[in-house]
Amino acid sequence: MAYNQILPDDTGKEHIIEIKDLCKSFDGTQVLKDITFYIRNNEFITLLGPSGCGKSTTLRIIAGFETADSGIVNFEGEDLLKVPAHKRNINTVFQRYALFPHLDVFDNVAFGLKIKKVPKKEIEQRVNTALAKVGLADYGERYIDQLSGGQMQRVAIARAIVNRPRILLLDEPLGALDLKMRKEMQIELKQMQRDLGITFVYVTHDQEEALTMSDTIIVMKDGVIQQIGTPIDVYNEPKNAYVADFIGESNIVPGTMKKDFEVTFSDGITFTCVDPLFPEFTEGEDNDVDMVIRPEDFYVSDEAEGRINGTVESIVFKGVHYEILVKSDNGIVWMVHNVDPVKIGQRVGLYVDPDDIQIMRKSEMSPEKGSYGIKKPAGQEGDAEKDSADTTAETDGGADV
């Protein structure tokens, strides 16, 4: 290993950044609480969480625009907090990219190099390379107000990569773009990161964006890391009800486990699962858990024994699938995705494979009642920009066939 690492990692890969027990308060309010994670070389890592959870503060401390109260930030094994911002081999792209409207694209990208008094020939070569990398090779002479939002975004990235940073920090860089442009730029940015071979640290509150682009996602809430993992990990194996709810659509209901591989929902129905009891649980007792079932993991069939039976409450066509709410006989509402339509009022049976039931420890974020569409505990509303009104609104049978 080239440099000293302080955080364990069984893959043996190099950590370009290591952050340990990072704390930060503003005016007596702690906004970062013992933040600990590492960033591997050439990784696309995303800090994901709702507004105010501390994403930008973490990024600003890495960039050197903000100081830490306590904790360690190492860059290639060296203490980064001692290095002034302008000497860090790190560049930032912000949501408001603050391009100079009175300069053309070339001069916007060249600006920092000119200040550093880099020789003219080298500036020309580096700016042209950077513009080519972001797909703007022929745009050097354009003025900023003659560009689309996506092109401005690319100029901002060119301006950052022209400095040849080891790490690029991106704070909601697609926030100003419309949805279609956002989706295009997500794919382009990911491609750019692979081509450039630079480590990207990305900040967003958009879970879909995080799932699409990242190698690793760090889910944050109130200055605390809730889970670190690959997009597949955090989606399929959320650590707690908060992560399950924030990442994608999910049914989260309380349940109990008496023994390994068996969970009883609040419905009173027992299902086989693939999780053993947690070590702190007592066999034979009703140990409280939360369980998650993703809407797409349900099979819809006729009413039958041993399944969740219920009545279709609403159905909305979503393009590839129908989004269906099924109210089970004791009142729990389940969100189900199905490729075939059903009728409102129809009696159905729901089935789920054991490995599609995810068992989690109870947490402060556990749902009070555990039913889709029922009000969540305070603080969760609107977090994931979920359009819950959309999922319950259409009960008039518009998609009923």
Question: Rule CB under 5 A: which residues touch Mg ion?
Answer: 56
Exposed/middle/buried for residue 360 (C-beta within 10 Å: 0-12, 13-18, 19+):
buried
Binding residues for ligand ATP, total number by CB under 6 A: 12
51 makes contact, choosing from ligand ATP, Mg ion, none, with CB < 5 to 8 Å by partner type, with ligand ATP
- Tell me which H or E stretch contains 329: none
Residue with smallest beta-carbon separation from Mg ion = 56
Q: Which of 299, 317, 337, 331 is nearest to 394 (CA)?
A: 317
Given 15, 55, 294, 376, the residue binding ligand ATP (CB under 6 A): 55
253 makes contact, choosing from ligand ATP, Mg ion, none, with CB < 5 to 8 Å by partner type, with none
The contacts of residue 383 (CB under 8 Å, 6+ apart) are 50, 245, 246
- Under the binding rule (CB under 6 A), the answer on residue 307 touching ligand ATP is no
Q: Which of 145, 361, 89, 99 is nearest to 252 (CA)?
A: 361
CB of 55 to Mg ion, least distance (A): 5
DSSP symbols for 379-392? T-TTTT---HHHHH
- Under the binding rule (CB under 6 A), the answer on residue 379 touching ligand ATP is no
Distance (Å, whole) CA 91 – CA 112: 11
- Under the binding rule (CB under 6 A), the answer on residue 205 touching ligand ATP is yes
Q: Which stretch binds ligand ATP (CB under 6 A): 48-56, 151-159, 246-254, 351-359?
A: 48-56
- Under the binding rule (CB under 6 A), the answer on residue 57 touching ligand ATP is yes
State the Cα angle at 170 between 168 and 176, rounded to 5°. 145
Q: Which stretch binds ligand ATP (CB under 6 A): 53-61, 152-160, 162-170, 384-392?
A: 53-61
CB of 242 to ligand ATP, least distance (A): 15
Q: What is the DSSP letter of 377?
A: P
Given 4, 51, 191, 272, the residue binding ligand ATP (CB under 6 A): 51
- Under the binding rule (CB under 6 A), the answer on residue 219 touching ligand ATP is no
Q: Which is nearer to ligand ATP, 1 or 378 (CB)?
A: 378
- Under the binding rule (CB under 6 A), the answer on residue 54 touching ligand ATP is yes
Q: Which is nearer to ligand ATP, 52 or 306 (CB)?
A: 52
Q: Is 358 helix (H, G, I), strand (E, B) or coil?
A: strand
Distance (Å, whole) CA 40 – CA 46: 12
Asked whether the beta carbons of 133 and 154 are under 8 A apart, the reply is: no
Q: Which is nearer to Mg ion, 134 or 201 (CB)?
A: 201
Q: Which residues here bind ligand ATP, judged by CB under 6 A?
A: 26-27, 31, 49, 51-57, 205
